C-alpha cells in the first residue's frame, strides 16, 4: 500500500491516518459526479450540496483526497490571481478586473468562514503577503504592480514599503523595498483539503478513492469511466484533475504540468526567530521569474518553494520529478542566501508537485449544458483561494443560477490547447532556461541577457 504521508509534510501532519476510503466496486447513478478530490472538486461538490442537500453527488479520486497539488502546496491562501492585475485590465477592462480582484478577496474570507463553520482546523492566519525587491532591478516590478492595483481602486490594501520597513518586518538579505498586500492568509493545506472532504461527506456526499477515471463521455448519457464501472450523472460531470487531466487522451494539451518544489526547515528556535523577525507570519516572495515563495508555518519552520525541475517531453508527470535533487539543493542554498543566520539549519522535508499552466495563463471555469461537462483548471501556482471561487462558480452554473460570480471573466471561458510536441518541449525548456538566466544576471548586477525582452514578452501574464 502506498505511504501517502511521504508526499508532503502537509499530508503527514494532516491529523488524519490517510487510510484510503473504499474504491468504486460497480457502476452507479448520481446527479453530479466529480473527477478529482482536490480543492476544485471538493469545493464544487461541497457548494452543490450546500445549495441543494437532496442532490446525489459523488467524487472519484485516483489516489486519496489531497494527493495532488491541494495536499502539497505552499500554504498561501491569497487574493493574488494567476494573471497580473495589469494584464487583467488590458484584457477585460478596469471594471471587470476590479470585480474579479474583489471576488478573490472574498474567496480568502470565504475559506476562513467555511473553516469556522465546518470546524476545519486549517491554521488560517491572515498575515498578508510581502513581495520583496531583492536588488534594485526588482523595484520597477513592485511599482508597476502597485500602480495597477491603484488604478483598480484597491490602494487601501496595498502598500509600497521602503527597505527599512521591509527589514523591520523580516530580516532577509539584499532587500531594497517591498509591496505589502493585506488580504492574504496562510493555511495548512493538508488540513484544509482533508477537512473539506469530511464536510462534504457530512452533507451526504460520497468519495471513492483509489479509483482511476480512464475516460469520460458527455451528451445524453454523461459519465466517468473507470476499470470498476461507470458513474452516470443526470446533471453534470465535473473534470477537476488540474495538471493530471493531461493524462486523459482528450485533455492531453489542456494545461502544462510545471513542477514547483518545496523544502522545509526544522522548527527554528526562539533565538533564531528573534534574529529573523517575521513576527506577523506574512507570506513572502521575491520578484524572480523562477518564483520564490515562503511561508512561516504555524509550528515555526520556514517553507521555501521555487520552480526549476525541468519540463519533461510529453507533459510527463512522475514522483521522480517531485524529488528533483538539483532543484531541492538549489532551494536549500536559497534559504541560506536569504537567511545567512540559519547556517547549519536542518532540512527535514522536501517534496513538490505539478501546477497546471493554461496556454493563455488565465484559469477557466466552464459548464456546457449541452454536453453536461463542467471543468475548472489552470491556476498555475495560485489555486488555493482561486479554487474556492471556481468551485462556487461551477456549482452556480450547474444549478442554473445566474449571479455576479457567473458573470466574472473566468466564468464560461475556454483556454486554447498547448502546442504539440516537440514544439511544446522546446518552447517550455527555452523559457525555463531564459528565466534562470534573467534572474541570475539580476542577482549579479549584470545587464539582462540579449533575449530577455523576447522571453519576458512570451511569459507576460
Ligand atoms: C508545490 C506546489 C506549491 C503550490 N503553492 C501554492 C500556494 O502556496 N498557493 C496557491 O494558491 N496555490 C499553490 N499551488 C497551486 C494549488 O495547490 C493548486 O492550484 C490547487 O491545489 C489545484 O487544486 P485542484 O483540485 O484543481 O487540483 P489537485 O489538487 O491537483 O487535485 C486533482 C486531483 O484529481 C485527481 N485525479 C486526476 N486525474 C484523475 C483521474 N484520471 N482519475 C481520478 N482522479 C484523478 C488527482 O489524483 C488529484 O488528487 C501550489 C502547487 C504546488 C504543486
Q: For the residues of 120-182, what is the DSSP string, one character each? A: -----B---EEEEEESGGGHHHHHHHHHHHHHTT-GGGEEEEEHHHHHHHB--TTEEEEEEE-
Per-residue pLDDT tens for 150-183?
999 999 999 999 999 999 999 999 999 999 999 9
Residue 347: per-residue pLDDT: 98
Is residue 100 pLDDT above 80, yes or no? yes
**Ligand 1 centroid vs 135 CA: distance in angstroms?**
32
- How remote is the CA of residue 355 from the centroid of ligand 1, in Å? 7
Confidence of residue 455 (pLDDT cuts 50, 70, 90): confident
By the 8 A CB rule, do 315 and 257 touch?
yes
What's residue 452's pLDDT? 87
Under DSSP, the state recorded for 183 is S
Atom of ligand 1 nearest to the CA of 261: 1
Q: How far apart are CA 339 and CA 306, in angstroms?
A: 16
Give the closest residue (by CA) to ligand 1 atom 14: 381
Question: What is the pLDDT averaged over residues 382-397?
Answer: 97
With cut-offs at 50, 70 and 90, classify the pLDDT of residue 402. Answer: confident
Cell of 124: 488560517
Secondary structure (3-state) at 294: strand
**CA 171 to ligand 1 center in whole angstroms:** 32
Nearest CA to ligand 1 atom 16: 383
Tell me: pLDDT of 414 over 90.
no
Q: Contact at 8 Å (CB) between 7 and 351?
A: yes
CA 36 to ligand 1 center in whole angstroms: 9
Please state the rounded mean pLDDT for residues 300-313: 95
What atom of ligand 1 comes closest to residue 212's alpha carbon?
A: 42
Q: What is the pLDDT of residues 212-261, one digit of tens each?
A: 999 999 999 999 999 999 999 999 999 999 999 999 999 999 999 999 99
Q: Distances in Å between the alpha carbon of 331 and those of 9, 262, 425?
A: 16, 8, 24
Which atom of ligand 1 lies at the shortest distance from residue 41's CA? 25
Distance 379 CA to ligand 1 centre (A): 9
- 376 neighbors 364 (Cβ within 8 angstroms): yes
Determine the atom of ligand 1 nearest the C-alpha atom of 71: 29
Which of 14, 34, 72, 73 has most ligand 1 atoms within 8 Å of CB, for mutation? 73
Is 460's pLDDT higher than 80?
no
Pocket of ligand 1 (CB under 6 A): 35-41, 60-63, 67-70, 72-76, 78, 212-213, 240-242, 244, 248, 260, 262, 293, 305, 352-355, 379, 381-384, 387
pLDDT at 10: 98
Interval between CA 163 and ligand 1 midpoint (Å): 35
Asked if the model's pLDDT at residue 28 lies above 90, the reply is yes
| Mean pLDDT for the stretch of residues 66-70 | 98
pLDDT for 407: 86
Ligand 1 centre distance from Cα of residue 406 (Å): 23
Ligand 1 atom closest to 243 (CA)? 30
Edge-to-edge strands of the sheet including 347-357? 158-162, 175-181, 129-134, 283-286, 292-296, 302-307, 256-265, 347-357
Give the nearest ligand 1 atom to 379 CA. Answer: 19
pLDDT at residue 406 in the model: 83
Q: What is the reported pLDDT for 222?
A: 98
Other CB atoms within 10 Å distance of the CB of residue 342 = 17
Return the percentage of the chain with pLDDT > 90, whole number.
92
**Which band of pLDDT confidence, cut at 50, 70 and 90, is reported for residue 454?**
confident
Q: What is the 111 CA–ligand 1 centroid distance (Å)?
A: 17
When the pLDDT of each residue in the chain is averaged and rounded to a whole number, the result is: 96
Three cell numbers, residue 160: 509600497
What was the pLDDT predicted at 308?
A: 83
CA–centroid distance, residue 17 to ligand 1 (Å)? 20
Q: Which long-range contacts (CB under 8 A, 24 or more apart) does 317-320 make?
A: 317/243, 317/244, 317/246, 317/247, 317/257, 317/354
Q: How far is the CA of 38 from the centre of ligand 1 (A)?
A: 6
Nearest CA to ligand 1 atom 21: 70
Amino acid at each position: 500500500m502506498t505511504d501517502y504521508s511521504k508526499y508532503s509534510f502537509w499530508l503527514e501532519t494532516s491529523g488524519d491516518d490517510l487510510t484510503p476510503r473504499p474504491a468504486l466496486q460497480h457502476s452507479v447513478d448520481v446527479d453530479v459526479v466529480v473527477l478529482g478530490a482536490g480543492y476544485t472538486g471538493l469545493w464544487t461538490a461541497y457548494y452543490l450540496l450546500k445549495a441543494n442537500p437532496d442532490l446525489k453527488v459523488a467524487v472519484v479520486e485516483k489516489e486519496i483526497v489531497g494527493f495532488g497539488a491541494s495536499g502539497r502546496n505552499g500554504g498561501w491562501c491569497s487574493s493574488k490571481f494567476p494573471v497580473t492585475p495589469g494584464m487583467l485590465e488590458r484584457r477585460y477592462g478596469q471594471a471587470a478586473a476590479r470585480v474579479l480582484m474583489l471576488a478573490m478577496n472574498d474567496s480568502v474570507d470565504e475559506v476562513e468562514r467555511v473553516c469556522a463553520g465546518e470546524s476545519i482546523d486549517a491554521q488560517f492566519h491572515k498575515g498578508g503577503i510581502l513581495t520583496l525587491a531583492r536588488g534594485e532591478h526588482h523595484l520597477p516590478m513592485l511599482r508597476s504592480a502597485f500602480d495597477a492595483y491603484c488604478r483598480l481602486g484597491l490602494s487601501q490594501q496595498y502598500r509600497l514599503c521602503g527597505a527599512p520597513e521591509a527589514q523591520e518586518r523580516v530580516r532577509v538579505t539584499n532587500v531594497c523595498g517591498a509591496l505589502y498586500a493585506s488580504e492574504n492568509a496562510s493555511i495548512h493545506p493538508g488540513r484544509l483539503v482533508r477537512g473539506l472532504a469530511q464536510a462534504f461527506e457530512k452533507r451526504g456526499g460520497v468519495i471513492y478513492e483509489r479509483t482511476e477515471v480512464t475516460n469520460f463521455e458527455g451528451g445524453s448519457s454523461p459519465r466517468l469511466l473507470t476499470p470498476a464501472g461507470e458513474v452516470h450523472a443526470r446533471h453534470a460531470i465535473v473534470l477537476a484533475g488540474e495538471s493530471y487531466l493531461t493524462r486523459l487522451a482528450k485533455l492531453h494539451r489542456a494545461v502544462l504540468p510545471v513542477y514547483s518544489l518545496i523544502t522545509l526547515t526544522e522548527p527554528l528556535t526562539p533565538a533564531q526567530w528573534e534574529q529573523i523577525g517575521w513576527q506577523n507570519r506574512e507570506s513572502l516572495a521575491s520578484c524572480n521569474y523562477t518564483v520564490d515563495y515562503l511561508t512561516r508555518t504555524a509550528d515555526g519552520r520556514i517553507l521555501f518553494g521555487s520552480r526549476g525541475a525541468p519540463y519533461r517531453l510529453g507533459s510527463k508527470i512522475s514522483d521522480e520529478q517531485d524529488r528533483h535533487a538539483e532543484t531541492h539543493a538549489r532551494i536549500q542554498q536559497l534559504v541560506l542566501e536569504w537567511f545567512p543566520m540559519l547556517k547549519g539549519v536542518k532540512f527535514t522535508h522536501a517534496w513538490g508537485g505539478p501546477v497546471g499552466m493554461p496556454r493563455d495563463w488565465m484559469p477557466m471555469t466552464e459548464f456546457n449544458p449541452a454536453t453536461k461537462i463542467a471543468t475548472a483548471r489552470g491556476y498555475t501556482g495560485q489555486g488555493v483561494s482561486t479554487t474556492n471561487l471556481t468551485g462556487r462558480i461551477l456549482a452556480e452554473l450547474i444549478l442554473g443560477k445566474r449571479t455576479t460570480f457567473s458573470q466574472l471573466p473566468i466564468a464560461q471561458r475556454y483556454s486554447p490547447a498547448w502546442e504539440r510536441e516537440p514544439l511544446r518541449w522546446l518552447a517550455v525548456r527555452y523559457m525555463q532556461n531564459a528565466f534562470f538566466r534573467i534572474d541570475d544576471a539580476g542577482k549579479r548586477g549584470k545587464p539582462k541577457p540579449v533575449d530577455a525582452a523576447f522571453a519576458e514578452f512570451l511569459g507576460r501574464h
